[in-house]
């Protein structure tokens, strides 16, 4: 689904909203973890969770390819309506507050230094969404992640769940806090994109702990989850430069940006693609772009950008317009063909200051005419013609421009 392009003062913004049909990895994040008192815990939804989605929460450890067994608890909730992004859900026993759906299973009673894992699907084939760990097991602890290897079957031991990355969509509290019995996210950030909030919440430096006393509630009752802007265009303009039109534009941020097609019209109806400029993909810093349109005559021109995502979705920029009065050449001139050497097509460009009869011919080394590209009456200005040498062998050839007042010959090379 696409959002409407919004123009505010000089800020021109492309919007693209993509909806997932299930909960994405990192779609929730844990914000309270208690092993004392009532063993209550809490999480925040970082995306809209559709109705009918089942989230499973368990204290059973992950062994790297399977769960250890069923010696601990699992509780599941199936949403009965959409859970909006930013909703904080506290769980006490088997009660989810606010109520977000039907509940099955038993109360989670994590031991000191235990873990809570969230997944969708079955226990035999889980897709992990989020995880929190407070365990230190000297037998298989991995200092680089704060998780364990999963080789030591223990009720308070778990490997980092498959598909999750510690500090991104999972968090190990050990050794980031002095005690791991009870801990709570300290609300370092409560408003931002889902990715920004996820990174803040899963940073163990943003948590506090209490030895022996559980946290009664999260640090806030709700978060504000903003929609990421794929491409924010802050300027787009056109200017005259050396008988050409130069387009310049700048983006403030980019997400999933494949690039820009440049389109031109002289009547705002029939648009043609005249070029493409690669995007930077993902960027949080300003990026500048430019494109030169050298194929213009006098008149009014309109330009627009077609910004394209990597998934093929696109959005148009506002239109910029410019008037262009191209001056006539002051003298005859024949340019070197480009490219040269070439295979099989090249372009020959020339300029004439007056309306006149023009002949442009291609010759072999013996002076024989191979082809007549032009033999006509042309208007004053710049002209260009393509020459296809597909039927010629490699070697040197000549091309000659001739008018009643001017004649010039240049050499070209076919290289196959």
Are residues 257 and 383 both part of a single domain?
no
Query: What pLDDT, in 10s, does the model give residues 233-273?
Result: 888 988 888 778 899 999 988 988 999 999 999 876 789 99
Burial class of residue 277 (count of CB atoms within 10 Å of its CB; 0-12, 13-18, 19+): middle
User: Could you count the other beta carbons within 10 Å of the beta carbon of residue 209?
Assistant: 18
Are residues 303 and 342 both part of a single domain?
no
Residues in the chain: 416
Classify residue 165: in a domain, yes or no. Answer: yes
Percent of the chain with pLDDT over 70: 87
Are residues 212 and 273 both part of a single domain?
no
Sign of CA dihedral 88, 93, 99, 101: positive
Q: What is the pLDDT of residue 8?
A: 31
Confirm if 280 and 330 have CB atoms less than 8 A apart: no
H-type helices in 251-356, by residue range?
none
Higher pLDDT, 75 or 145: 75
| Domain-ending residue, one of 165, 194, 226 | 226
Q: What is the pLDDT of residue 407?
A: 95
Least confident of 45-49, 71-75, 182-186: 71-75
Classify residue 22: in a domain, yes or no. Answer: no
Are residues 347 and 207 both part of a single domain?
no
| Domain-ending residue, one of 161, 196, 226 | 226
Classify residue 20: in a domain, yes or no. Answer: no
Are residues 288 and 379 both part of a single domain?
no
For residue 352, is pLDDT > 50? yes
Q: Name the domain count of the chain.
A: 3
Q: Which two tokens stand for residue 93?
A: 């026993």
Are residues 188 and 158 both part of a single domain?
yes
Are residues 105 and 183 both part of a single domain?
yes
Q: What is the pLDDT of residue 68?
A: 81
Mean pLDDT of the region 385-396: 92
Q: What is the pLDDT of residue 3?
A: 33
| Domain-ending residue, one of 291, 324, 357 | 324
Classify residue 17: in a domain, yes or no. Answer: no
Confirm if 105 and 76 have CB atoms less than 8 A apart: yes
Confidence at 311, pLDDT banded by 50, 70, 90: confident
Are residues 312 and 177 both part of a single domain?
no
Classify residue 9: in a domain, yes or no. Answer: no
Q: Within a 13 Å sphere around the CA of 325, how many CA atoms are in the beta-carbon half?
A: 0
Mean pLDDT in the chain? 85
Are residues 52 and 172 both part of a single domain?
yes
Structural domain boundaries, residue 409:
333-414
Confidence at 5, pLDDT banded by 50, 70, 90: very low
Confirm if 274 and 330 have CB atoms less than 8 A apart: no
Mean pLDDT of the region 268-290: 90
Are residues 66 and 208 both part of a single domain?
yes
Q: Which two tokens stand for residue 232?
A: 């924010």
Selection from 109, 38, 42 nearest residue 72 by Cα: 109
Q: What is the pLDDT of residue 270?
A: 86
Are residues 125 and 242 both part of a single domain?
no
């Amino acid at each position: 689904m696409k959002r409407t392009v919004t123009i505010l003062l000089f800020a021109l913004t492309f919007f693209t909203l993509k909806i997932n049909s299930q909960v994405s990895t990192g779609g929730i994040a844990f914000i309270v973890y208690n092993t004392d008192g009532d063993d209550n815990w809490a999480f925040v939804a970082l995306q809209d969770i559709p109705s009918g989605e089942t989230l499973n929460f368990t204290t059973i450890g992950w062994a790297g390819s399977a769960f250890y067994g069923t010696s601990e608890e699992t509780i599941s909730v199936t949403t009965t309506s959409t859970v909006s992004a930013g909703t904080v859900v506290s769980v006490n026993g088997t009660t989810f507050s606010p109520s977000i759906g039907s509940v099955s299973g038993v109360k989670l009673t994590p031991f000191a230094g235990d873990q809570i894992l969230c997944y969708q699907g079955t226990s035999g084939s889980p897709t992990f969404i989020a995880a929190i760990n407070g365990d230190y097991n000297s037998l298989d602890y991995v200092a680089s992640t704060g998780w364990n290897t999963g080789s030591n079957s223990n009720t308070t031991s778990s490997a980092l769940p498959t598909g999750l990355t510690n500090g991104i969509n999972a968090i190990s509290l050990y050794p980031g806090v002095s005690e791991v019995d009870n801990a709570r996210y300290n609300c370092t950030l409560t408003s931002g994109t889902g990715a920004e909030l996820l990174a803040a919440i899963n940073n163990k430096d943003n948590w506090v702990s209490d030895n022996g006393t559980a946290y009664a509630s999260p640090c806030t009752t709700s978060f504000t989850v903003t929609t990421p802007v794929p491409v924010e265009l802050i300027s787009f303009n056109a200017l005259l430069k050396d008988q050409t039109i130069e387009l310049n534009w700048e983006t403030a941020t980019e997400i999933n940006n494949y690039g820009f097609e440049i389109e031109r019209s002289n009547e705002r109806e029939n648009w043609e693609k005249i070029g493409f400029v690669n995007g930077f993909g993902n960027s949080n810093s300003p990026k500048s772009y430019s494109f030169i349109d050298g194929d213009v005559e006098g008149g009014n021109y309109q330009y627009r950008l077609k910004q394209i995502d990597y998934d093929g979705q696109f959005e148009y920029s506002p239109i910029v317009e410019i008037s262009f009065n191209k001056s006539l050449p002051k003298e005859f001139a024949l340019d070197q063909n480009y490219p040269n050497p070439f295979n099989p097509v090249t372009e020959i460009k020339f300029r004439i200051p007056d309306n006149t009869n023009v002949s442009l011919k291609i010759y072999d080394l013996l002076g024989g005419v191979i082809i007549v590209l032009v033999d006509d009456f042309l208007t004053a200005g710049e002209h260009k013609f393509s020459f296809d040498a597909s039927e010629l062998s490699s070697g040197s050839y000549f091309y000659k421009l001739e008018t009643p007042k001017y004649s010039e010959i240049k050499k070209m090379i076919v290289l196959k």
